Structure formats: structure tokens, C-alpha cells
Amino acid sequence: MELTGLTIHELQGLLRRREVTAKQVLMAFLKRIAQVEGKIQAYMTVTGLEALRTASRLDRRRQAGENVGPLAGIPLAIKDVICTQDVPTTCSSKILDGFIPPYDATVMRRLDQAGMVLLGKTNMDEFAMGSSTENSGYKVTHNPWDLDRVPGGSSGGSAAAVTADLCAGALGSDTGGSIRQPAAFCRIVGVKPTYGRVSRYGLVAFASSLDQIGPMTKDVRDAAILLGVIAGHDACDSTSVNVPVPDYAAQLGREVTGLRIGIPKEYFIEGMDPEVETAIRAAINVLESLGAKAESISLPHTEYAVATYYLVATAEASSNLARYDAVKYGFRAREAKDLLSMYMKSRQNGFGAEVKRRIMLGTYALSAGYYDAYYLKALKVRTLIRKDFEDAFKRCEVILTPTAPTPAFRLGEKTDDPLTMYLSDIFTISANLAGIPGVCLPCGFTQAGLPIGLQLLGKPFDEATLLQVAFAYEQATEWHKRNPPL
């Protein structure tokens, strides 16, 4: 039995029955990391020594009959945009080189209370700005299904680590598809919760009205387990919503008979890879065979989503990233002669090209004379996009779409054309603008053996229904059981 290939819920059973110890599980993953990480480059930091102390402590507590929590002994990886006390958090940016937070994010506190073992922090596009994890300031992560292709982004390190069995599960963040798109490219399950469902306290901000933390796992049950741990109101986050958190895992077995699934015509566009469309159409047929009812719907303002997103997100990024002045922490240019040149040279050398591009776009959109023409207009269109979803959910419980228009593309293929790169998130961006939840899960492979992802979108705070539908589809198919040829 290869421990690293097991799901979270399978490992929970072994640990609960004391068939293995937390230390044995951890050592299996550390061995796997030593063997495979050199090919994948998924991690920014591996916290092996501290993980060993945590696992040993959990084993002693379990042996003593203490309540050790539902995730006791489960090794998880965390995207390097989430603050971890005493562990470097760089957002894969040179400007945060050497930064070690003095506190834990709320999601980290909740995972710690549940008994998880922190394996390390994963690589990402710098400040979560990108769709390929090629924008990291430190390294490029490779897709385990084809080492010459991207794992998606910006949570590419987390996605690659999960599918390559370098962790039992992971957390990512999703601002415009950064959990769901890499989940599709790497054949795993990714959940973007409703905005406000999971605390953003301790999440380094990119675009504050869009960012959301979510789980990335090997199957739907694992996603339900992790979401159940991290979800819930938090007084430290003013945007956190105080609504009850259901037992997601307990509700997974429900049937989908009679459930209405909307298929938006705007998401089946010219230029979409034919193999992707074929896989999505086949997935619709599977759900109909399970008793769900599929019907065509319209989300008429979808065509404006990318333009709207890249105004709202960059404007918020311009504001959020103004705090990195090289004074209090992180990278500082050595050759500066005075305060102003220190600011300018530090930001010039500390930020990568994509981050600087978005800061400039956002600053321009917010500047005098352009605010009304760009940013204010984008906010109005955002309201129309949200209204589209509100109207659609009067006719259906769930919306089904492709996650990405193509499978994983080759490394370097889109780095010289930012607009083409931005369009790889065309099907995921609207959910962030509307604040609704989304789930990505595997629904097929191309002839070249590359994963294809299915996206399910739901009503605000109705992650339970999304997971129910995702689980029903997963149980009727075998896509989640295939492993990359590492």
C-alpha cells in the first residue's frame, strides 16, 4: 500500500484505526517529495523538521486517548499567499523575500486545531497574478501529466503537489479561477467557495473583493472535508459572512434526480478545443443518466467578464500592493542613495513583469479623468454579470460549464502574449465577479493524455449542492482514479 496515493478520507481511516502512525504517513510523503519534487518544483518551502515534531506530538496524543481532531496526521500543503507563523510567506515574489509572518491566517488556525501536519508552502504566480505559475519570482512548476506543460495558475504549485502525491491535499486561493483552472489542468478537485464563506484574514491580498481561499484535493469527499474545516464566520475578517456551515461530507450521498442543471450557451464558444467540448457534452449526458435535467440558459453579459475583471482586479491590486515599500520587511535595493530612490529601485527590482503590468493598469484605471470611464463602468458591468446569475438560478440549481477552453498549454507558449494568457480564465472569472461558489472536477482526457476539467457553479452559500452533484458525477465515472506517468 502506497500511503502517498491515498485520499484524505482513506488516510483518516488508517490513522483512526491505528494501522499507521502520523509519523509513518509523514515520512512516506517526505520520501516522495525527495524522489519527485526535483521534476515538479511544486514547493517554495518544505517544513520537514517541524512537520516531524507535529506528527510525533499527534501520535503521542492519540496513544494517550486524547481528541486529536478530524485531520490529525494528514499532511497538507499551503499556497504561499497564506500567512503561516514562523514559516516564510513570499507570495513567490522577490519583494517578500525572507518575510516570515508573526501570525497564522485564520484558515491555518482552523487546520491546526483539526490536527493537520503542514508539509510546506507551494509555488505560485507572483502575488497570484497569472494562469500558468510561470510568473513566480523563483521557479517554474511543471505539470505532472506532461513536464513540458504548465500546471495552471496561480495555484499551480498546490495543484501539481496534489496530483503528484506530494501532499494529501492543499489550499489555494482563487481571484479569477486560480483554484479551478489548475485543478482542471492537473486532474484534481478544486473548490472556490462563495465570497465570505472562508475567512480572508491572513490571505495576502491581490484583489480584496474577489479573493477567496479554497481546497484542492484528490476527490470530492476530500474537498468536502477540508471545506468543512476552513469555512465559517471570522470576526477578524469584515467580509466574512455569519451563515451556518453544513456538514458537507455527510450530504454527499444524496441523489441528483430532478435537479435542474443550466447549460449557458455563452460558454461554448468558437476557439474552444473540440476535445474539451466533447468531454463536457459527455459529462452532461452522464448527469442526465443519473436523473438530472439539463436545459439551455443564457448569461448575456459573459462577453464583458474578462475586460471587467482586468479593470476591477488591477485597480484593487494597485491599491493593495502600494504597501510594499521596502521599509518594514522584505526586499530592499542596496544601491539606493536616498529614500525616494530606495522606494523606486526596490519596487522596480522586487516586482516581476506581470505584477508591474497589473499595477500600472490599475493605477491608470483609477487615475483622475479615467476613473469614471474605466473603473466605475466596470463596477456597473459587474453588477449586470451578478444579475445574470441571479436570473439563471431562478431556472436551475446548478450551472455546468467547461473550466478552461483548452487543456494545459506548453511552458512558454503564452508568456509573450498576456492577452492570450488572460483568456485562459474566460470561463472562471465570472464566478468571482458575482461572488458565487464554483467546483472543478475531472471529466476526461485528451488523446494526448491531458486532463479536462468540468466546472459547476452554484447559488451563494450553496456549496453543499455543488459538492452533491460533483460527487454523483465522480462516482459514476473513473476519471479521478487515473494517475500521471511520473
> Could you report the per-residue pLDDT of 426-435, keeping only the tens digit for each?
999 999 999 9
- Candidates 114, 151, 107; CA nearest to 410 is 151
- Residue 112 has what pLDDT? 98
DSSP 86-98: TB---TT-GGGTT
The residue ranges of the chain whose pLDDT is under 70 are 1
- Residue 1 has what pLDDT? 64
- Hey, where are the domains in the chain? 3-255+470-479
Task: Tell me the longest C-alpha to C-alpha distance in the chain.
Answer: 70
Structural fold of domain 3-255+470-479: Amidase signature (AS) enzymes (3.90.1300)
Tell me how far apart the alpha carbons of residues 104 and 222 are, in angstroms, rounded to a whole number. Answer: 23
Long-range pairs for 363-367 at CB < 8 Å and ≥24 separation?
363/318, 365/311, 365/314, 365/315, 365/318, 366/315, 366/318, 366/319
User: Catalytic residue positions?
Assistant: 79, 154, 178
Q: Tell me what percent of the chain is helix, strand and coil, each rounded to the nearest 5.
A: 45, 15, 40
Extract the runs of DSSP E, i.e. beta strands, from 208-366.
Answer: 213-217, 260-264, 293-297
Q: Is 273 exposed, middle or buried (0-12, 13-18, 19+ CB in 10 A)?
A: middle
- Residue 269 has what pLDDT? 86
Does this model's pTM top 0.95?
yes
DSSP 63-89: HTT----TTTT-EEEEETTB-BTTB--
> Could you report the per-residue pLDDT of 138-156, keeping only the tens digit for each?
999 999 999 999 999 999 9
- The residue type of 403 is T
Tell me how far apart the alpha carbons of residues 114 and 226 are, in angstroms, rounded to a whole number. Answer: 10
> Which H helix or E strand runs over 343?
helix 339-350
- Residue 419 has what pLDDT? 84
Contact assessment for residue 475 and residue 289, using Cβ atoms and an 8 Å cutoff: no
